Structure 1
Amino acid sequence: MTPAPSQRHYGMDWLRIGAFILLIFYHVGYSFTAWGYQTPTRGVVWWAEIPLLGMSAWRLALLFAISGYASAALLVRDKGQVSQFGWSRIKRLGIPLAFGLIVVVPPQPYMGLVNSGYEHDYLYYFLHDAFSFQKIRYEYVPRIMHLWFVIHLLAYTLAMCGIMLVLPASWQAALRLGFERLFAGPLLIPAGILLVYLVRNYVPYGWTDMHNLLNDRAAHLHYGGMFLFGFLLRGSSALRASIARQWPIAAVLAMAGFFWVAGDSWLYPGRIATPQEWRHALILAKSVESWAAVIALFGIADRFWNFNHPWRQTLSEAVFPVYIAHQTIMVLVMYPIRDWGLTALPEFAILCGSVAIGSWLFYLVGREVGPLRPLIGLKRHKTHRLPKTDPAPTPGT
């Protein structure tokens, strides 16, 4: 991959922006599947899960890998001061996490309770039930909902900081060398697929992706491993070169994995279990899709998207606030429109449009009000206006 480790990789910015845009479509589309959601829409669209399966195996792995890559860039900006970097991440992630859990998330379980017959208004719910740590009807409150990602990301970041603080520099160098020897060559794709398959299939108690920090044993190995992969990628020119050579192969494999997973969904839709004799093949297909898609997208971002644009900085800044707000807006819109008698396509369009507009307004308002900026994950003071020309790559960012 072309940029030196001291330069900003614009392709990674565009990849991050695109991944979170896809997340909006994924969460809205999820509402039309048999997988369930706490405020269901008009019904199930039988084929809706198939395109979602084109993203489900790799979307979270990609986000954690990008986050690891960005963390390495931020550590360079902090001149390698691990303690300073760790404290900055606690503030940048922890403050909006607390704000989100207290202010943004509670309307989501409330709408689920209203859907099941809860009779109190929101003020009563917020003051008496929202943080009562008990089960009310079918909802246990409080809930973390989509902010589980921020919790996991902060945990992986702090764990990495702790390891870097206690592990001797010589050991860290040896681990980096071993990492490069494994992945920066012909084993990049097969070794990654094998590791993902082992995690998905052979970790005790099975694949655990419950979005629970204490119980996600296998998911921690997968997502934490992807975070570490992204972190080490930024400092490895050999691995970047290997991805640049092999991403077309990875793209073909990712599509092949998706077609197998899609075929399984076609034969066994919704909650119909895949027969036991085909389970290992399905897990392997998901593992191929997961790893190969990440490698392919990294290569595509480097080959085609590594350019600046006046909107890049603004969109990059908006990603975190949009993520904080998007699911709550979706649930608040989903509940009233479900009885309008709409067909699936206009309902999908209304939900996507509402989430996009509402989340963007959440960002625009928050960025202009100084005290709100840190609450939605922005720097305390504005650092830029929309540029009129493309600036040069910024070293160390």
Structure 2
Amino acid sequence: MLTTNRRYDIDWLRVIAIGLLLIYHVAIGFQPWGIMIGFISNGDSWTSLWLPMAMLNIWRIPFLFFVSGMGVYFAMQQRSWKQLMQDRALRILLPYVFGMFCIFPLSVMIWQRYYKWDVSYAFNPGHLWFLGNIMLYVTLLSPLFYYLKKNEPGKFVHGLKAILSHPLGLLPVLMLFVVEVLIIKPNPYELYAMTWHGFVLGLIAFFCGFCFVLAGEGFWNMLLKYRWIFLILAIAFFTLRFIWMALKAPGYLLAIESQCWILTMFAFGYKYLNRPGKVLSYLSDAAYPVYILHMIFLFLGSWWIFPLDIPVQLEFVLVLLFTGIGCFAAFEVIKRINILRPLFGLKLKNKKEEYSRHHATERHSASTIVL
């Protein structure tokens, strides 16, 4: 039975999405054009690695926006509008500002040092642009979300639940993303960071993620029933793009393929991942700090490993391991220093929090911090 208090599958999918983000960013360093978008590029490229990344790249960021909207639904259950905004400011805006001035500039300095450029400081959100978008979405949409929550027994929400309990009810959702790409015409489609395409697409996904959870058990059972159809469609669209279009499909087809992958992830996650565990508890807490810090360790690992005379595949594994181990080692330090915790999106430690951890009464709260 679907519950609104704990959705461990959404926690798991959030963790998986951050893991895919790390893999994707490491893979950019092995493409000859990586330096053009601010990454340290390996002199020995591994271009075939980009095939799975091309499949991943059209849905990984929209997927996180969906999860973010879902997280807000759960965060609202025991918070007033004022409490929600205060919590989001502390858990999202503070790490965003801190990262803009202290984290991303440090990664840029490492990049400059690697290429023997003059080292200079310049604040920039960089990869943390996502947090800025989420804070804006919460601010813009929370009045509407609270209205829907207050009127959940009403006709609109009842109709929403009826529509989304049928697969054809997904067509209006799909059309929103198709219309967005037809109007904005992003080039390339995957350019999300600090663009109108990324902002509008994220806003739509954020809103739809909220509605998916609001729609309740009927929606999730529908996803469960048609999960193989979503997967087959996603594979079919990617195969079409790879074989007949050389991975350069028009934007409206990319939008459709993207949604097929996202629905597949939600459906299989709901089927197999909706269960708690110590590993999930640990990774869910670590995901936010890892996301904030990973570019620093990625650039350090690239700096030290790329000059080695070893196969490029081994370099990829070593950079990925270095990035992961560095991030989790930093997390182990951060979580023990109370003054650092809010800067990385973690709650301050107190006795009540420790009690709730052991009793898991608010386990889903981790998934309300959205990356």
- Structure 2 match to 1:375: 343
1:197 aligns with 2:178: yes
Relative to its length, the structure with more helix (as a share) is 2
Displacement of 1:372 after TM fit?
A: 0.8
- Structure 2 match to 1:271: none
- Structure 2 match to 1:289: 257
Classify the secondary structure of the residue corresponding to 1:308. coil
Q: What TM-score, normalized by structure 2, do the two folds share?
A: 0.86
Note the alpha carbon deviations across 1:200-229, whole angstroms, 9 max, x for none: 2333676583511xxx32322221111111
The correspondence for 1:154, drawn from 114, 130, 135, is 135
Counterpart Cα distance in 1 of 2:283 and 2:190: 33
- Structure 2 match to 1:134: none
Q: Across the two proteins, how many residue pairs are aligned to each other?
A: 358
Classify the secondary structure of the residue corresponding to 1:262. helix
Q: Structure 1 325/385 Cα, relative in aligned 2: closer, same or farther at 3 Å?
A: farther
Displacement of 1:254 after TM fit?
A: 1.2
Displacement of 1:263 after TM fit?
A: 2.9
Displacement of 1:112 after TM fit?
A: 3.1
Counterpart Cα distance in 2 of 1:112 and 1:248: 43
Q: Structure 1 218/178 Cα, relative in aligned 2: closer, same or farther at 3 Å?
A: farther
Question: Which structure 2 residues correspond to residues 1-397 of structure 1 after superposition, within 5 A?
Answer: 2-5=1-4, 7-37=5-35, 38=38, 39-78=40-79, 81-120=80-119, 125=120, 130-131=121-122, 142-164=123-145, 176-177=157-158, 179-180=160-161, 182-203=163-184, 209-212=191-194, 216-237=195-216, 238-263=218-243, 267=246, 274=248, 279-280=249-250, 283-381=251-349, 383-384=353-354, 397=365
Displacement of 1:319 after TM fit?
A: 0.6
Structure having the higher Rg? 1
Q: Structure 1 199/109 Cα, relative in aligned 2: closer, same or farther at 3 Å?
A: same
Question: Residue type matched to 1:209 in 2?
Answer: L
Displacement of 1:178 after TM fit?
A: 5.5
Q: Structure 1 21/102 Cα, relative in aligned 2: closer, same or farther at 3 Å?
A: same
Displacement of 1:239 after TM fit?
A: 2.1
Gaps of 5+ in 2: 366-371
Conserved in 1, the CA contact under 8 Å of 2:357 and 2:363?
no
Question: Residue type matched to 1:378 in 2?
Answer: L
Displacement of 1:181 after TM fit?
A: 5.0
Displacement of 1:395 after TM fit?
A: 8.8
Identity %: 21
Q: Structure 1 59/328 Cα, relative in aligned 2: closer, same or farther at 3 Å?
A: same
Q: Structure 1 15/396 Cα, relative in aligned 2: closer, same or farther at 3 Å?
A: closer
Question: Residue type matched to 1:54 in 2?
Answer: M
